Amino acid sequence: MEEQGFITTPDGVRLWYRLVGRGAPAVIVPHGLYYADDLAALWQDRSAVVYDLRNRGRSDAGAEPARRSRGVLHDLDDLEAVRSHFGLARVDLVGHSYVAVIALHYAMTRPERVGRVVAFGPPGYGIGHEAPPPPDAVARDVFRQLGALQGAPFADAPARCRGFWQVLARLYVVDQGLAPRIAPWGRCDLPNERAFVAYWTSHVEPSLKQLPAGASDLARATCPVLVVHGRDDRSAPYGAGRAWAARLPDARLLTVPHTAHAPWLEAPRAVIPAVQTFLGGAWPDAAEQVPA
């Protein structure tokens, strides 16, 4: 099955989506277009709605600063709009990085709508693990190269974006040979993605820091949650994954050794079957119950 198009939110923003897999939609993957094909095995017996967040990818950008200032609060509302558009009473959610935090907060605010959540590498906004881990040798070299690129000449904005992502990609994998598979995450042909750093700094990260994540908030996310975290993640600290798994009512942690921020790429034989098992209704054997 392959379908694509736009979903219009109640406030008039168009969200670009793809429907992948077979059967009726059962999973929503917010902002998962850069990795949905890597997870193709998960959509053999179900289908997934994969869409760009507003101000990201091919979705509309809200021009007015007041509309952008709500940051991820808009994204939570938009996730509800996507669910409603497809007439889904309950859905499973798959999210990566800060979008995993959005999925978890959706489960807190609308628990009746969520069956299961897979959270890949969630940062610890709201639970005391916001800061990235201390840089290792690769991270220090990446930051040095990024600094050197600041004043480098480029033919145009897409070329500048591609140059930065060719360097930045090394940050997200332990196996540096896989960095070329990360570089396309930049989606540098799209104006929204080229402008994301400014949007992140001004609106996304500040709004993430304001999301409530106290004990009473976390207690409302009663669905099963599988946190999948690379042990050597340089972007979202591994301690954040452990903290989410420990504090959510029904969560377990799949630790993936020798991987960073894209564990499904670096260890597909460990990650993909585990997520298949979880979405099929059972806990994978390697998933750990983390003491509170």
> What pLDDT is stored for residue 53 in this prediction?
97
> What pLDDT is stored for residue 22 in this prediction?
85
> What pLDDT is stored for residue 153 in this prediction?
84
pLDDT band for position 45 (cuts 50, 70, 90): confident
Query: Is the per-residue pLDDT at 68 higher than 80?
Result: no
Query: Is the per-residue pLDDT at 64 higher than 80?
Result: no
Q: What percent of the chain has pLDDT over 90?
A: 87
- How is domain 2-133+196-279 classified at the CATH fold level? Rossmann fold (3.40.50)
pLDDT band for position 111 (cuts 50, 70, 90): very high
Encode pLDDT of 125-159 as tens digits.
Answer: 999 888 888 899 999 999 999 999 888 888 899 99
> What pLDDT is stored for residue 1 in this prediction?
56
How do strand 114-120 and strand 225-230 relate by DSSP bridges? parallel
> What pLDDT is stored for residue 25 in this prediction?
73
Lowest mean pLDDT among 23-27, 96-100, 163-167, 285-289: 23-27
> What pLDDT is stored for residue 69 in this prediction?
79
3-state secondary structure the chain: CEEEEEEECCCCCEEEEEEEECCCEEEEEECCCCCHHHHHHHHCCCEEEEECCCCCCCCCCCCCHHHHCCCHHHHHHHHHHHHHHCCCCCEEEEEECHHHHHHHHHHHHCHHHEEEEEEECCCECCCCECCCCCCCHHHHHHHHHHHHHCCCCCCCHHHHHHHHHHHHHHHHCCCHHHHHHHHHHHCCCCHHHHCHHHHHHHHHHHHHHHCCCCHHHHHCCCCCEEEEEECCCCCCCHHHHHHHHHHCCCEEEEEECCCCCCHHHHCHHHHHHHHHHHHCCCCCCCCECCCC
Query: Is the per-residue pLDDT at 186 higher than 60?
Result: yes
Encode pLDDT of 235-250 as tens digits.
Answer: 999 999 999 999 999 9
Query: In Å, how far are 55, 166, 217 from 159, measured between CA atoms?
Result: 20, 11, 43
Single-letter code of the amino acid located at 145: Q
pLDDT band for position 63 (cuts 50, 70, 90): low
> How do the domains of the chain map onto residue ranges?
2-133+196-279
Lowest mean pLDDT among 67-71, 113-117, 199-203, 212-216: 67-71
Query: Is the per-residue pLDDT at 94 higher than 90?
Result: yes
Q: How many CB atoms lie within 10 A of CB 202?
A: 14
Which span out of 64-68, 116-120, 150-154 was modeled with the highest average pLDDT? 116-120
Confirm whether pTM is higher than 0.75.
yes
> What pLDDT is stored for residue 155 in this prediction?
82
